[in-house]
Amino acid sequence: MVEISAFQHQMSALLSRADCPAMAWVGALDCELSSDGRGPVSDMPSVFIKTYGCQMNERDSEAVAAQLVAKGYTLAASEAAADVVLLNTCSVRDAAEQKAIGKMQNLAADLRRNRPNLVLGFMGCMAQSRGQELIDKLPDVDLVIGTQKFHRTAEYLDDLFADRRKKVCDIGSEAGSEATIKEHILAGSGSRKSVTAFVSIMQGCNQHCTFCIVPFTRGEERSRTIEDIVAECRELVAGGVREVTLLGQIVTSYGKREIGAKDGKSAFVQLLEAVSEVEGLDRIRFTSPHPKGYGDDLVEAYGRLPKLCESAHIPAQSGSNEMLKLMHRGYTRERFTGIAGKLRQVRPNIGVTTDIIVGFPGESEAHFQETMSLLDEVRFDNAYVFKYSKRKDTPAATMPDQVPQEIIEDRHTRLLARVNEISVAKYQSFTGQHVQILVEGPSRRNASRLEGRTRCNKIVVFEGSSRHRAQLMDLKITRSSLCTLYGDPAIVNME
Ligand code: SAH
Ligand code: F3S
């Protein structure tokens, strides 16, 4: 059986491309889940998983892979060598859907034509939003698994291989699906060697921003219990993990209904406190929060929980109050900048990143300039810049004054240039500073070097050896490029 740690390490190396948020989002995050080819040969079918989109999708793919390996399936080294190819999809923008559909068409044409027994499947958000339509339009697709059914992947593959069913499409809802994913990770935890791990704390989102398809693809907010999450973190630490990232579509709404506030602390802050108590865990991160969830209790938690890393990805979307209202974001520009200011007061070195959408319906040049000025006011360490994409059934899709594509492109280019300018300056300001990093493994660009992250979530590459892996190290930053710092441990040792 293929050792799970091999692909998990490969996964995190590929995943780290996401640390350059100014890159196109979906393209930057695409990654593949496969074996390194070292596993022993098995008679069980082999699977190749390709993931599009966000960290939640990465987490889901990891969980599905762990589940399949536990059931005896192996992970193939490439799609060409696989008996099953699964695409875990993203629906946030149309481009992401088209990319996965194009990929599936290529797989059908290139691979399935010669190997009719190859099983092809879609999972995740696009599977959820399009369902049976995917099989009707792409007859080579055998399997469509929605966002609440990941835990049934092995069972469905078994059915297809045993010829019990010809096609499977399951996009139903399932009570308790926010917790099923945990079972998968436990199944593979025995050989887990990753230093960092994602922990899914909730599913769904009730905010219904007018542009966003996520509430439709991921459903209503459902949170796991604090005990469950803490138990998973303990398991992970026992397997060598030193840093966890708590994941959800709107983590600041964690446990609102199920747990509620206590002593002036939101359920999310209670969770952060409980996870902080896990012995052996060094660092805690989370993504994605919503600005309206940054109450003083959360700001204050940054000041008193040393394991909580000083980095925050806070999606702003726009700098214009008029746009924010149309987007149904639930905060103003002033509230947003106030949060960034308070966080910087509590943790002066905090890294603040964001998401911005350009070309939302009704966005004039003047509105756009307000977003440009937000960049100058907040000076984000980095930002994902999205071109507005019309999504089925969302209120924004039928709003008046849709912005022409060429104007969207132009605003995207101008905004990205400013994001990068500020980012380069921010990264340069680290030169000469000492930082603490958690060493994750070989650098993704040059495997002879190592890389890790600062507490403020910046990648640092340095000359080191495998004995440094999983260590907290102090480095002196010697230079920087867009999205990467370069450090030297020797200088620290000599001082
Ligand atoms: N809170 C979620 C948000 C998911 S969508 C999470 O991070 O898990 C991620 C980002 O995609 C949003 O913050 C928004 O900036 C962008 N986005 C969502 N819908 C979009 C659309 N229709 N067009 C363009 N960008 C969009
Ligand atoms: Fe989407 Fe807004 Fe929720 S961006 S995920 S509806 S907070």
Convert the pLDDT of each residue in 76-95 to its tens digit: 999 999 999 999 999 999 99
DSSP class of residue 128 equals H
Centre of ligand 2 to C-alpha 208, Å, is 6
Among residues of the chain, what percentage have pLDDT more than 90? 81
Centre of ligand 1 to C-alpha 351, Å, is 20
- Annotate 121-147 with b (16+ C-beta within 10 A) or e (fewer): bbbbbbbbbbbeebbeebebbbbbbbb
Would you tell me how many other CB atoms lie within 10 Å of the CB of residue 345?
12
**Confidence class of residue 337 from pLDDT cuts 50, 70 and 90?**
very high
Nearest ligand 2 atom, CA 249? 5
- Confidence at residue 4, expressed as pLDDT on a 0 to 100 scale: 32
SS3 state of residue 309: coil
- Confidence at residue 2, expressed as pLDDT on a 0 to 100 scale: 28
**Confidence class of residue 495 from pLDDT cuts 50, 70 and 90?**
very low
Nearest ligand 2 atom, CA 218? 5
Nearest ligand 1 atom, CA 248? 8
Distance CA 470, CA 248 (A): 25
Please, are residues 18 and 313 in contact by the beta-carbon 8 Å criterion?
A: no
Reported as a single tens digit per residue, the pLDDT across 241-256 is: 999 999 999 999 999 9
Centre of ligand 1 to C-alpha 212, Å, is 6
What is the model's pTM? Answer: 0.89
Residue 71 structure tokens: 């059931």
- Looking at every residue in the chain, the average pLDDT score rounds to 89
DSSP class of residue 80 equals T
Nearest ligand 2 atom, CA 290? 7
- Confidence at residue 272, expressed as pLDDT on a 0 to 100 scale: 98
Q: Checking DSSP bridges between strand 243-247 and strand 283-287, what pairing results, if any? A: parallel
Reported as a single tens digit per residue, the pLDDT across 259-298 is: 999 999 999 999 999 999 999 999 999 999 999 999 999 9
For ligand 1, mutation pick of 129, 212, 249, 253 (most atoms within 8 Å of CB): 212
Mean pLDDT score, 335-358: 97
Please, are residues 483 and 454 in contact by the beta-carbon 8 Å criterion?
A: no
Instruction: Look at the alpha carbons of 222, 226, 227, 228 in this order and tell me if their dihedral is positive or negative.
Output: positive
**Residue 184 reports pLDDT greater than 60:** no
For ligand 2, mutation pick of 207, 328, 384 (most atoms within 8 Å of CB): 207
Least confident of 144-148, 172-176, 217-221, 331-335: 172-176
- Confidence at residue 329, expressed as pLDDT on a 0 to 100 scale: 98
Ligand nearest to the CA of 356: 1
**Residue 319 reports pLDDT greater than 90:** yes
- Confidence at residue 466, expressed as pLDDT on a 0 to 100 scale: 87
Among residues of the chain, what percentage have pLDDT more than 70? 87
Centre of ligand 1 to C-alpha 388, Å, is 9
The residue with greater pLDDT, 175 or 209, is 209
Reported as a single tens digit per residue, the pLDDT across 439-472 is: 999 998 888 999 999 999 999 999 998 899 999 9
Mean pLDDT score, 124-138: 96
Least confident of 55-69, 119-133, 255-269: 55-69
Ligand nearest to the CA of 56: 1
Nearest ligand 2 atom, CA 317? 4
Ligand nearest to the CA of 288: 1
Centre of ligand 2 to C-alpha 217, Å, is 11
Which residues have C-beta atoms less than 6 Å from ligand 2?
205, 207-209, 212, 214-215, 249-250, 290
Ligand nearest to the CA of 387: 1
Nearest ligand 1 atom, CA 396? 22
- Confidence at residue 113, expressed as pLDDT on a 0 to 100 scale: 87
For ligand 1, mutation pick of 201, 357, 358, 384 (most atoms within 8 Å of CB): 357
Which residues have C-beta atoms less than 6 Å from ligand 1?
54, 56, 92-93, 211-212, 214, 249-250, 288, 315, 317, 355, 357, 386, 388-389, 391
For ligand 2, mutation pick of 210, 249, 329, 356 (most atoms within 8 Å of CB): 249
- What residues contact 111, with CB distance under 8 A and at least 6 apart? 79, 80, 85, 118
Instruction: Look at the alpha carbons of 359, 335, 293, 305 in this order and tell me if their dihedral is positive or negative.
Output: positive
**Confidence class of residue 35 from pLDDT cuts 50, 70 and 90?**
low
Residue 424 structure tokens: 């380069």
Reported as a single tens digit per residue, the pLDDT across 206-248 is: 999 999 999 999 999 999 999 999 999 999 999 999 999 999 9
Centre of ligand 2 to C-alpha 71, Å, is 35
Ligand nearest to the CA of 201: 1
Reported as a single tens digit per residue, the pLDDT across 132-166 is: 999 999 999 999 999 999 999 999 999 999 999 99
Supply the DSSP string of 185-252, one letter for each residue.
Answer: HHHHGGG---SEEEEE-EE------TT--HHHHH-S-EE--HHHHHHHHHHHHHTT--EEEEE-TTGG
Nearest ligand 2 atom, CA 328? 2
CA 259 to chain centre: 25
- Confidence at residue 39, expressed as pLDDT on a 0 to 100 scale: 43
Centre of ligand 1 to C-alpha 211, Å, is 8
Ligand nearest to the CA of 383: 1
Mean pLDDT score, 26-52: 65
**Residue 49 reports pLDDT greater than 70:** yes
Centre of ligand 2 to C-alpha 276, Å, is 27
- Confidence at residue 175, expressed as pLDDT on a 0 to 100 scale: 76
**Confidence class of residue 474 from pLDDT cuts 50, 70 and 90?**
very high
Q: Hey, what's the torsion of the CAs at 271, 272, 278, 281, to 10 degrees? A: 140
